[in-house]
Amino acid sequence: MDAVLLARLQFALTIGFHFIFPPLSIGLAWLLVIFEALGWKKKEEAYVKIGKFFGKILGLIFAMGVATGIVMEFQFGTNWAEYSKFVGDVFGAPLAAEGIFAFFIESTFLGLYLFGRNKVSKGIHWFSIFMVALGATISAFWILVANSWQQTPAGYVIRNGRAELTDFWAAVFNPSTLPRFFHTFDASLISGAFLVLGISAYLILKGKEVETAKKAFKVALIFGLIVSALEVFPFGHEHSRQVALTQPEKFAATQGLYTTQSGAPIAVFAIPVDNPPELKAPIEIPGLLSWLVFGDISAELKGIDQFPQDEIPPLFLTFVSYHNMVLLGVYFIFITSLATFLYWKKKLWDKKKVLKIFVWSVPLPVIACQLGWITAEVGRQPWIVYKLLRTSEAASITVSAGEILFSIILFGVIYLLLGSLFLYVLFKEVKHGPEPLQNKEVAA
């Protein structure tokens, strides 16, 4: 057994499970900011019900995110000790900022939001969910700063075999931070929108609090259509251009660009194969990839034939994860556009098949987030810190493969139980639906 491969699998398992929850909590928190504002300003009972109902779900998701996030930081010291030695000086600052400025704000105001309804003024109560959403967003920013530094390191010197911070702001705003942050943040908003859309559609189909669910669906639909469109342009486009300019071998792998070409095509569909690298049955649009990157259909783009063999990322997984992420992005725009058209025509609530599609679509944005993360991390290989430290050099040398395998099995069992418990409580809450308001809770 390869200890490095097992350590990578363990990290993929733990972060993959954890990464289910942050996008949902960020997106749902910002939608609750809207719902609570409508309930406060319009004094409509339905929005108060929506806030109470989805607030409970936010609390459940937040608890899962915290429980599953703690494990990852321990792994830096156990399985990735050499990596920690190399980047500790750089990584300490953003991780500390995330804990002090973001998580503290998020957790403190979440308590006020969940337990302060009708105990504090409506303005303070709305401010509490706003701070939860802001704290979750700031938390995501600092985590992405740390990850982006691994992708495009900046603001450091190599001294005594380790990276030392020389320019804090250059490290924070390294070339990939902002494109990666906006792309991921918007993906989180899509995740939150589809969570509300799916649950609201379920309630409508089951005939529970129908008018309340319709109001939640309408707001989430408009919100979801806007953020889905923004994910393609400008956020997805700008992030893709940044990768093309700063990590060209990763970009070539995502696009199936195996040879250097002028007027490079974009592969709409293809089946990638290795040894030798080739796209089978490709459907391509000539020149479009060159135009998207350089604004010139004749511009030259580097293929993977321009890079050393030992610096080429895994081709099949990078291509497939990227293209399925894009496919899901197109689906989100299509289904929200269709539903908006039907709503405009006053036919949406009679289209049960469309509502059922939204119910089954709840996990798809989360899957898209996972595919995007796989693209980013697998496409960076063989580097754990791009051009500075290889993954094979970063693992701990004192932890055996057997010990890592045992911990993978242990984590797998724990996560299976945690995931089952989360789904049980979530489904129970959704089936119960929004509760009637007490007299003192009715907006007046």
Report the candidate in 373, 386, 368, 392 with the shortest Cα–Cα distance to residue 248.
386
How many angstroms separate the CA atoms of 220 and 258, rounded? Answer: 41
The continuous run of DSSP H or E covering 157 comes out as strand 156-159
CB atoms within 10 A of CB 161: 8
Which residues 6+ apart lie within 8 Å of 388 measured at CB?
A: 86, 153, 158, 163
Round to whole Å and give the CA distance between 235 and 379. Answer: 19
- The reported pLDDT for the residue numbered 73 is 74
Identify whether the C-beta of residue 13 lies closer than 8 Å to the C-beta of residue 411: yes
Please tell me which residue, 92 or 82, carries the higher pLDDT value.
82
Segment 319-356, tens digit of pLDDT: 999 999 999 999 999 999 999 999 999 999 999 999 99
Task: List, as one string, the DSSP characters of 50-111.
Answer: HHHHHHHHHHHHHHHHHHHHHHHHHHHHHT-HHHHHHHHHHHHHHHHHIIIIIIHHHHHHHH
pLDDT grade, residue 362 (50/70/90)?
A: very high
The closest alpha carbon to 348, from 205, 225, 209, belongs to: 205
Write phi, then psi, for 261 (nearest 5 degrees). -140, 145
Closest by CA position to 20, among listed 419, 330, 439, 310: 419
| Helix (H) / strand (E) containing 158 | strand 156-159
* Token code pair at residue 37: 């504002």
CB 283 within 8 A of CB 298: no
Tokens describing residue 9: 């699998």
Q: What is the pLDDT of residues 255-305, one digit of tens each?
A: 999 999 999 999 999 999 988 899 999 999 999 999 999 999 999 999 999
DSSP assignment, residue 272?
E
Strand intervals (E) in 261-388: 261-262, 266-273, 278-285, 300-301, 383-385
- The pLDDT, as a whole number, for residue 94 is 82
Q: In whole numbers, what is the pLDDT of the chain averaged over residues?
A: 93
Tell me the pLDDT tens digit for each residue of 230-256. 999 999 999 999 999 999 999 999 999
Q: Please report the pLDDT score of residue 353 as a whole number.
A: 97
Residue 386, classed as helix, strand or coil, is coil
Rounded to whole angstroms, the Cα distance separating 252 from 304 reads 6
For the chain, domain boundaries: 3-260+302-432
User: Which pLDDT value is given to residue 287?
Assistant: 95
How many whole angstroms separate alpha carbon 157 and alpha carbon 155? 7
Q: What is the mean pLDDT of residues 177-201?
A: 98
Predicted pLDDT at 427: 96
Does the pLDDT of residue 389 top 70, yes or no?
yes
Q: How confident is the model at residue 248, as a pLDDT?
A: 96
Higher pLDDT, 441 or 84: 84
Q: How confident is the model at residue 442 (pLDDT cuts 50, 70, 90)?
A: low
pLDDT in tens, 98-136: 877 777 888 889 999 999 988 999 999 999 999 999 999
Between CA 79 and CA 398 the distance in angstroms is 9
Confidence at 93, pLDDT banded by 50, 70, 90: confident
The dihedral built from the CA positions of residue 105, 111, 116 and 117, taken in this order, carries a sign that is: positive
Instruction: Read off the pTM.
Output: 0.96
Q: Among residues 360, 58, 367, which one has the least CA distance to residue 201? A: 360
User: How sure is the predictor about 151, in pLDDT bands with cuts at 50, 70 and 90?
Assistant: very high
Q: pLDDT tier at 441 (50, 70, 90 boundaries)?
A: low
Q: Please report the pLDDT score of residue 444 as a whole number.
A: 43
* pLDDT value of residue 158: 94
Query: By C-alpha distance, which of 175, 304, 180, 315 is closest to 246?
Result: 175
CA dihedral 442→109→28→70, nearest 10 degrees, is -140
Report the 3 state secondary structure along 163-214: EEECCHHHHHCCCCHHHHHHHHHHHHHHHHHHHHHHHHHHHHHHCCCHHHHH
* Residue with the larger pLDDT of the pair 89 and 366: 366
HSE at residue 9, side-chain half, CA atoms within 13 A, is: 15
Percent of the chain with pLDDT over 70: 98
Cβ atoms < 10 Å from Cβ of 215: 19
Residues with Cβ within 8 Å of residue 207, at least 6 apart in sequence: none
As a whole number of angstroms, the distance between CA 57 and CA 339 comes to: 24
Is the pLDDT score of 17 beyond 90? yes
